[in-house]
Amino acid sequence: MPALPTRATAAMVDRPIPDDPEGLRSEVVRLKKIVRALMGRAERDMNARHTDFGWFQDTIRLEDQVRARTRELEEAQLHIERINRDLQSAKDRLEREVDERRRANAALEQAMEQLVQTEKLAALGSLVAGVAHELNTPLGNSLTVASALSQLVQGFNEQLEAGTLRKQTLVDFVAQCRDAASLLEKNCRRAAELIGNFKQVAVDQTSMRRRRFDLRQSIEEVLSTLHPKLKHTAYGLELAVPAGIELDSFPGPIEQIVANLVNNSLQHGFEGRSEGHIHIAAEVVSGGQILLHYSDDGAGIPDAIAKRVFDPFFTTRLGRGGSGLGLYIVYNLATAALGGTIELTSGAGRGARFDLRFPRVAPSTALRGEEHDGPG
């Protein structure tokens, strides 16, 4: 008598459903094999003499179960295949999107670079226009004086040749020549001064040698050159920079910054005041940075003006010797040469305070001749 389906046979069917397509496929194959084997066996047993009908029924039931299970597995396999297809198409879509985004980013970067170049050119354009405008006044004045002088000389010469020259004419002529010469000198000096300032704007690399130096020493040096300006005044200067702060940077720009700030305190801050104080201090802060504090207790800078003081050609002394390049140069030196930042804190009647922050070791990118476009 053939054996009834044993627990072992049931165990062969009741395995857990694998959750990967490959496992599912081999499970389906395996179950099909079991079904075929069982069917073959049932057929054989049907033909045998000792067929037991109960066992036959069990076999049929088992076979049904296996079929149902196989169907379930096949459906599960189809489902997983569908999920895989969906996943694959989602992955393709994502890859396409990443690709598109990468291309868009590259285009954006290029556009930004172009914009920066365009803005640089625009800044340069306005600087050149400003230079032309500023130089126009002293050069125009010189031209007027020179042609007036030429006419004067011609008239004088005519009188001389005609023998009609009187002593008074000669005296007047000398006085007029002296005035003309002084006007010419003043205007030429102004033009030379402006050109000197414009040269500084270009952050002249040759005058900026990098070296190791002591911060206090280099500030003392520049203050000694400013001493004559302070000597006969009631204005005082206190230097609270400790000795021994050694920098590997550009002493030239630091000296130029200090000189421009002191000149501004004298010209703007203390104008019309009987006394005034300048305080210069420095400290080493975290990250190898130097903080240089410059302050005066002068007139201060009203908020409306403070926003514009670093712009090229902004001056409140138009026509009185101001070109408005001093703080623009300071800004360029602080950022381009020293690789740092400069901040103004002020207000009308509160004095002016400039905080300059720059690295103790200047970055190697500083002073590659890049021109900065100003803060705004």
Ligand X SMILES: Nc1ncnc2c1ncn2[C@@H]1O[C@H](COP(=O)(O)OP(=O)(O)OP(=O)(O)O)[C@@H](O)[C@H]1O
Which parts of this chain interact with ligand X (CB under 6 A)? 197, 264-265, 267-269, 296, 298-299, 301, 305, 309, 314-317, 322-328, 352
Rounded Cα–Cα distance for residues 31 and 73 (Å): 10
Q: What angle do CA 160, 165, 170 make, to 5 degrees?
A: 100
Binding at 328: pick from ligand X, Mg ion, none (beta carbon under 5-8 Å per type): ligand X
Least distance in angstroms from the C-beta of 140 to ligand X: 19
Least distance in angstroms from the C-beta of 264 to Mg ion: 4
User: Based on CB atoms, which residue is closest to Mg ion, 187 or 264?
Assistant: 264
- H or E segment and range at residue 121: helix 53-162
Least distance in angstroms from the C-beta of 266 to ligand X: 9
Tell me how far the alpha carbon of residue 218 is from its chain's centroid. 29
Binding at 249: pick from Mg ion, ligand X, none (beta carbon under 5-8 Å per type): none
Cβ pair 320, 328 in contact under 8 A: no
Q: Exposed (0-12), middle (13-18) or buried (19+): which is 292, by Cβ within 10 Å?
A: buried
Binding at 269: pick from Mg ion, ligand X, none (beta carbon under 5-8 Å per type): ligand X
Stretch that binds Mg ion, among 59-67, 70-78, 304-312, 324-332 (CB under 5 A): 324-332
Binding at 301: pick from ligand X, Mg ion, none (beta carbon under 5-8 Å per type): ligand X
- Distance spanning both ends of the chain, measured CA to CA: 102
Least distance in angstroms from the C-beta of 264 to ligand X: 3
**Contacts with 223 (C-beta within 8 Å, 6 or more apart), sequence order:** 237, 239, 258, 262
Q: Are strands 276-285 and 235-240 parallel, antiparallel or unpaired?
A: parallel
Least distance in angstroms from the C-beta of 291 to ligand X: 19
Binding at 27: pick from Mg ion, ligand X, none (beta carbon under 5-8 Å per type): none
Distances (CA, A) of 251 to 74, 239, 242: 82, 17, 16
Counting residues that bind Mg ion (by CB under 5 A) gives 2
User: Based on CB atoms, which residue is closest to ligand X, 282 or 352?
Assistant: 352
327: its two tokens: 């703080």
From 269, 311, 325, select the one nearest 294 (Cα to Cα). 269
Binding at 335: pick from Mg ion, ligand X, none (beta carbon under 5-8 Å per type): none
User: Based on CB atoms, which residue is closest to Mg ion, 77 or 265?
Assistant: 265
Binding at 309: pick from Mg ion, ligand X, none (beta carbon under 5-8 Å per type): ligand X
Asked whether position 326 contacts Mg ion by CB under 5 A, the answer is: yes
Cβ pair 346, 300 in contact under 8 A: yes
Exactly one of 59, 70, 249, 264 binds Mg ion (CB under 5 A); that residue is 264
